Structure 1
Amino acid sequence: MKAARFHAQEDLRIEDIEEPVPGPGEVKIRNAYSGICGSDLHFYYAPEASGVNINEPHPITGAKPPQVLGHEFSGTVVELGDGVDGVEVGDRVVVWPIYYCGSCAACGKGMYNICRTIAFHGLSSNGGGMAEFTTIPASKVHVLPEGVDLRMGALVEPMAVAWHAVEASGIQAGQTAMIIGAGPIGIGVWFALRAHGVETVIVSEPSDERRAAIEGVGADLVVNPMAQDLAARVQEETGGRGVDVAFDAAGIGPALSGALTQLAPGGRAIVVAIHERPTEIQPTQFVMGETGISGTLAYLPEDFDAVIQAMADGKYTSEGWVSEVSLDGVVDAFHALRSGRRMKVLVRAD
């Protein structure tokens, strides 16, 4: 079968490899679409900086390069391993791709998304979505309902990142929010906030293309912080109170620091993005306003279920911000995303 396999830094090859066979408790999936995300870019351009030691087998999965990429993907079940119940051949599915140790402090709290030795199917495992087929434990499969197609299904994983952040924020319907950065995760936060009944959502994004993309899905309070007074807009839209929650989906230190000053008393900032550089923050501002800052990572299975239901309820669209390429176009898509020339790219696994 054809697959996109990572061999080393900036060495991603389209190769013919052997089709996988499902073991006990596993299903075989004919992959349909697989998204390229920031984690894939970090892994491709700077694997060591991404936190994965590509020179040693992963302690949970035993995998090491060459590695089939693709951890946000959808497909159709074509074969069942022994002992599989609750999944049938022909089911259209997405995969919760996390492997966890089950014994660290995080796992002991049920926080499998921050397992100290976490692995992801299609990043640090055997197999992935950027291939014609993959095998996966059936316990990780989420069946898509009628009305959620495979193209939309491939967006469940990144949208679950955003959903998890919104859930962790504790924001309530009727409160106000700000999103820093209108990339795919920023758009996902906007969808999740609207699904949670949050109507006043101010988006800060300097890129013309990204502002147009989030406006295209319905955002109407979008600010270019390089040309407009973001603080004045926040004050105007919140009646001078500030926002209840600010979501950092950009990973830019000064933007986060600026957002912290726009929090309402008792407000909270949620860092969803990975910051490549340190940034200075003045702790006194938390004291004076009793505000706070915390981070979120990835998702839990229930976040997948919630996003799938919201998609079935028509809360999401892929129009205007998602494009597609074939497996042969993966490397070019990586370069385009790195340079900011693409928004969200799905790879067709055909």
Structure 2
Amino acid sequence: MRAAVFHAQEDLRIEDVAEPTPGPGQVKLKNAYAGICGSDLHVYYAPEAAGLDMDNPHPVTGATLPQILGHEFSGTVVELGEGVEGVSVGDRVAVWPIYSCGTCAACAKGAVNACRTIGFHGLMSDGGGMAEYTTVDAAKLHVLPENVDLKLGALVEPMAVAWHAVERSGVKAGETALIAGAGPIGIGVWFALKAQGVEDVLVSEPSPERRAAIAALGATVVDPVHEDLGAAVDKLTGGSGVQAGFDAAGVGVAVSSVLANLRPLGRMVIVALHERTMDFFPTQLVMGETEVVGALGYTQADFDAVIAAMAEGKYDTTGWVDETDLDGVLGAIGALREGRGMKVLVSSAA
């Protein structure tokens, strides 16, 4: 079968590899679509900075390079391994891709998404979604309802990242929110907020293309470079600031802009990965008793919540999701790195 195989920094090859066979407790999937996300870009351009050990087996999965990429993906069950129950051949599924150690402090609290040695299927495991087939533990499958197609299924993973960030914010229906960044995760935060009854949401985004994409979905958008973000927040909130803010941009100025527009006792969630350190003024937190928290990954419950919201028609891919095939993966990675495009789904069909 054909697959996108990562060998080393900036060395990704489309190769013929052996077709996998499911072991006990596993299923074999015919992959449909796999998303290219920021983590894939980090791995391709700076794997060690992204936490990928180039020389040693992963401590949980035991996987080593080369590695088939694709950790946000959907597919159809085509074969069951020994002992698999609760899933059938022909089921269309999204895959919860986390591997955790089960023993660290986070895992002991049930927060496997914050495991100190976390791994992901399609980053640090044998197999991934950017191939014709993969095998995965049946316990990681989330069956898609009939009205949720496989393209949406491949978006469950990144939308669950955003959903988890909203859960971490503590924002409630009827309250207000500010999102810095209108890339895929920022769009996902907007969808999640709307699905949870948070209607008064402002999106801050400097890119004209990204502003246009999320505005077409119905969002209220501000250009923080040429417009007064503070004035827009004051108009939305009557001058009191937002209850919840989200950094989905991954740059220091975005964090600062959100902090400046939180109301007293508000909370900001950092969901983006940052490549650089930043300075901020801690007295901002003291004077308003505001909070800053991080959000990493998702739980199985977040996957279920996103799929349920998709089944209710709460998500729309118009204008921000593109498609390519395996031969187009390298080109898509380069384009996304240059800021062209937003979300690319890779079709794994032969």
What is the TM-score of this pair, normalised by structure 2? 0.99
Q: Show CA shifts across 1:121-140 (max 9, x none).
A: 00000000000000000000
Equivalent residue runs for 1:68-83 within 5 Å = 68-83=68-83
Taking only aligned residues, the RMSD between alpha carbons, in angstroms, comes to 0.5
Does residue 106 (structure 1) correspond to residue 121 (structure 2)? The answer is: no
Aligned partner of 1:337 in structure 2 is 336
User: Could you tell me how far apart the structure 2 residues matched to 1:271 and 1:75 are?
Assistant: 30
2:211 maps to which residue? Answer: 211
Displacement of 1:319 after TM fit?
Answer: 1.2
Unaligned ranges ≥5, structure 1: none
Aligned to 2:265: 266
Task: State the match for 2:7 in structure 1.
Answer: 7
Shift of 1:90: 0.1
- Deviation track 1:228-252 (CA, whole Å, cap 9, x = no partner) reads 0001110111100100011000011
* Cα deviation 1:25-71 (Å, max 9, x = unaligned): 00000000000000000000000100111211101111111100000
SS of the residue corresponding to residue 234 of structure 1 reads helix
Write the distance in 1 (CA, Å) between the matches of 2:45 and 2:174. 41
Shift in Å, 1:258: 2.0
Aligned residue for 2:318? Answer: 319
Deviant stretches of 4+, over 6 Å: none
Counterpart in 2 of 1:170?
170
What secondary structure, in the 3-state scheme, does the structure 2 residue paired with 1:198 have? coil
In the alignment, the residues of structure 1 paired with residue 171 and residue 196 of structure 2 have an alpha-carbon distance, to the nearest angstrom, of: 8
The number of residues matched between the two structures is: 349
Asked if 1:36 corresponds to 2:48, the answer is no
Map of 2:295 onto structure 1: 296
Moved more, 277-286 or 65-74: 277-286
Percent of pairs identical after alignment? 68
Query: Secondary structure at the residue paired with 1:168?
Result: helix
Residues in 2 aligned to 1:127 and 1:307: alpha-carbon distance in whole angstroms: 25
In 1, Cα distance between the equivalents of 2:258 and 2:197?
22
User: Is 1:46 equivalent to 2:11 in the alignment?
Assistant: no
The whole-number CA distance in structure 1 between the counterparts of 2:182 and 2:204 is: 7
CA distance in 2, matches of 1:255, 1:161: 19
C-alpha distance in 1 between matches for 2:143 and 2:254: 38
Aligned pairs for 1:84-163 (under 5 A) are 84-163=84-163
Cα distance in 2, alignment partners of residues 205 and 137 from structure 1? 39
In structure 1, give the amino acid aligned to 2:282: P
Residue 160 of structure 1: how far off its partner (Å): 0.0
Aligned residue for 2:181? 181
Q: TM-score, normalised by structure 1?
A: 0.99
Q: Distance in 2 between matches of 1:247 and 1:346?
A: 25
Question: 1:89 is paired with a residue of what secondary structure?
Answer: coil
Structure 1 segment 197-276 matched on structure 2, within 5 A: 197-219=197-219, 221-276=220-275
Distance in 2 of aligned mates of 1:93 and 1:287: 46
